[in-house]
Amino acid sequence: MNMYIQPDYEVVRDESKCIACRVCERQCANLVHSFDPDTGKMKADSTKCVNCHRCVCLCPTHALKIVKSDDTYKINANWDNQTINEVYKQANSGGVLLSSMGNPKPYPVYWDKMLVNASQVTNPPIDPLREPMETQIYLGKRSAKIERDKKGRLKNTLSPQLKLQVPIMFSAMSYGSISYNAHESLARAAEELGTFYNTGEGGLHKDFYRYGKNTIVQVASGRFGVFKDYLQSAAAIEIKMGQGAKPGIGGHLPGAKISADVSETRMIPQGVDAISPAPHHDIYSIEDLRQLVDSLKEVTEYKKPVIVKIAAVHNAAAIASGIARSGADIIAIDGYRGGTGAAPTRIRDNVGIPIELALAQVDQRLRDEGIRDEVSLVVGGSIRSSADVVKAIAMGADACYIGTAALLALGCHLCRTCHEGKCNWGIATQRPDLVKRLNPDIGYKRLVNLVTAWNHEIQEMMGGMGINSVEALRGNRLMLRGIGLTDAELRILGIRYAGESM
């Protein structure tokens, strides 16, 4: 016997506005809406609704809204509706609860507890409309000192670098977890913006090799889609050791999303769940990691930087210290609010730490050990606005990865059901009828608009601080003040309380 589970949301239709055009019926891949020929009216099955808002947005008469259900079990602070429903679901199915996108729990967001400084009178602000403002950055190892020969020519051999026109990249999202059109949008936007997108662990579709100079390819524990041409096609290679949404476990692509095209790109069977292992089976130490870094550099003739991506966990600083000594050029840290196409709900909601705390600890540890210039730091895991980017850079990041914000720009409404493969917005799906709903010509422009807008705001905020380059802002924690934070949180973040002067 399956226990009936009351839906979280209800579809409300204003009958005085509905013209029974059946748009909502055609648009909903979850089969919520249907036409009743007996009454000549539309009806809805709220139990199937995932609250993706597709019908609400496209209803020509604005007759629809989705509301939070006010049905409730007997009020109990210990056993809320969601907790009870999850027990019923597991008693019904006997399975692990799956979810997608980032951790939705009300944990503190430290970016919202930091305030940015502004110049007044002395060290005056800089007006980015009238004065130069540099947001171009390079990612990779930096030389400890500049050496020149007698003629003044540079003697240093520079390590391979990534050149970004904006301190923002699109984070790893695999073909399979997201659609062909979503990938095309990201690739074209990265090219136009002068930044990078990331294949995730899904391999690189043959059509996207032409975006190679703006592509970061990933090598994850399953080695899906990894071969020589794949590695050589990209601007950089990222070894994925962990992911913020699911630290300590491997990737999971449900079989429903493994179409023929995805299967060919990933080099895996069609229609069968692809679960990559939790560890890399050849990496059990920093020495093992060094061997993989060396192998990837060798196969790409030492021309491409290697990124090592880890999840933000309790001992991220010690791990990063080891990675900085492994020969990697860039460390990417992914916080626990980072998105995913599919993750066990318990892992997503209970494992890892906020990116703000991990970044503060990693940057400080690398500085204390005198190896901060050995690597660049890229952070992700719910970077939501240009203000988050500015604060992350002031905390010590060189650049940020954005994933969820990029998907929002493409039309995502954060319904958190990507793992079901029926994304009504054409993003997290492989169903051809749904994929075509996302027009890459429009998608890439929206991504370019988003990052361009953020870049303007970054320039304005830096100008307000009297700083004219991202490089000068990096690690400048004196520009930040905490508000509503405990002494322990201020100590870990390495910032002063609002009201404390320089």
Judged by the rule CB under 6 A, the positions of this chain that interact with ligand SF4 are 13, 18-24, 42, 52, 59-61, 63-64, 100-101, 407, 412-418, 423, 425, 427-428
What whole-number distance in Å separates Cα of residue 54 and Cα of residue 322? 46
**Which lies closer to ligand SF4 via its Cβ, residue 104 or residue 124?**
104
Residue 415 Cβ, how far from ligand SF4 at the closest point, in Å? 4
Nearest approach, Cβ of residue 40 and ligand SF4 (Å): 11
Minimum distance between the CB of residue 104 and ligand SF4, rounded to whole angstroms? 11
Q: Compute the C-alpha angle 221/225/231, nearest 5°.
A: 90
Instruction: Give alpha helix (H) positions in 50-179.
Output: 54-58, 81-93
Measure the CA–CA gap between 94 and 89, rounded to whole angstroms: 8
Provide the 10 A C-beta neighbour count for residue 323. 29
* Least gap, CB of 53 to ligand SF4 (angstroms): 8
Tell me how far, at minimum, the Cβ of 58 lies from ligand SF4, in Å: 7
Residue closest to 312 by CA, chosen among 407, 401, 389: 401
Compute the 3-state secondary structure of the chain and give helix, strand, coil in percent, each to the nearest 5. 35, 15, 45
Q: Which of 189, 141, 197 is nearest to 377 (CA)?
A: 141
Write out the two tokens for 408: 């929002």
Residue 199 and residue 224 in contact, taking contact as beta carbons nearer than 8 Å: no
- Of 57 and 283, nearer to ligand SF4 (C-beta) is 57
- 3-state SS, 331-373, equals EEEECCCCCCCCEEHHHHHHCCCCHHHHHHHHHHHHHHCCCHH
Residue 175 near residue 265 (C-beta atoms within 8 A):
yes
Closest CB to ligand SF4 among residues 115, 408: 408
* Pairing assessment for the beta strands 33-36 and 41-44 based on DSSP bridges: antiparallel
CB of 282 to ligand SF4, least distance (A): 33
Shortest gap between Cβ of 438 and ligand SF4 (angstroms)?
10
Residue 129: left (phi > 0), alpha (psi -120 to 50), or beta? Answer: alpha
For ligand SF4, give the closer residue by CB, 27 or 361. Answer: 27
| Comparison of 179 and 214: residue with beta carbon closer to ligand SF4 | 179
Q: How far is the CB of 89 from ligand SF4 (least distance, A)?
A: 19
In one-letter notation, the amino acid at residue 325 is: R
Rounded Cα–Cα distance for residues 125 and 463 (Å) = 5
* Nearest residue (CB) to ligand SF4, 108 versus 432: 432
- Cβ closest to ligand SF4, residue 51 vs residue 135: 51
User: Residue 409 or residue 412: which is nearer to ligand SF4 going by CB?
Assistant: 412
Structure tokens at 173: 């999202």
Contact 372, 363 (CB under 8 A): yes
Cα Rg for the chain, rounded, in angstroms? 24
Report the distance separating Cα 41 and Cα 38, nearest Å. 8
C-beta closer to ligand SF4: residue 64 or 353: 64
Q: How far, in Å, CA of 154 to CA of 146, rounded?
A: 7
Cβ at position 161, least distance to ligand SF4 in Å: 33
First to last CA, the chain: 66
Name which of 24 and 331 has its Cβ closer to ligand SF4.
24
Minimum CB separation from ligand SF4 for residue 420, in Å? 7
Residues constituting the chain: 502
